[in-house]
Amino acid sequence: MESLYDIWSKRNPQWEKRYQESIMDVFTDYGRGTTSYQHARAKTFGAGYEAFIIAFFIGLYFDQTKPLIEDKAQLKTYGQPIQYWGNQENRIGRTSYGEIRKFIFAALVAKTDIDLIALDKGEITPRKVVDQLIDKMEQYANFGFSYIYEKMEEDPNHFFRETAFLHLFLSFLDEKKEENIQLEEL
């Protein structure tokens, strides 16, 4: 029997097409193929799913979700299942980041209301559970894309600072530190 992780990793999450021009085309070489490295050198990310991963973690760390729009015609996938995300070690300067996929999966299991006892009893199918995990993943990423889009609307150069994404993620650590200090004071 396949594990939940294996079933999940064969899926291809969706994202809203409206972020194609404003985020994907700006930050990734998504859709250009492997022969366009010359043009892609100035991009922050390589494959489109790398932007999806960043958007997912933004949603996760803010603990905010945003459902995808209902119109299926306005949704896209990357055409590559999760199991292949980050496997391009042969590209100069890249290493595999398979561990990130495991972290995403663990976070989704922790943050999704799954009845694991019902799954174990066969009352719900592994596919149903994976559907829930993918839905949560898409919602976190959709919030992240929305966040990136809004920041770009406020300041088009916001994410073009060399360490902009790093500072964003470090700010989550600062917030956690402040929360811990406040708890200790109580």
Instruction: Identify the segments of the chain with pLDDT beneath 70.
Output: 29-46, 88-95, 175-186
- Please give the residue range of the domain that contains residue 40: 4-161
Q: Is residue 169 part of a domain?
A: no
Q: Is residue 103 part of a domain?
A: yes
| pLDDT for position 72 | 94
| pLDDT for position 176 | 63
Q: Is residue 110 part of a domain?
A: yes
| pLDDT for position 166 | 84
Q: How many structural domains are present in the chain? A: 1
Exposure pattern of 45-82 as b/e (b: 16+ CB <10 Å)?
bbbbbbbbbbbbbbbbbeeebbebeeeeeebbebeeeb
Q: Is residue 172 part of a domain?
A: no
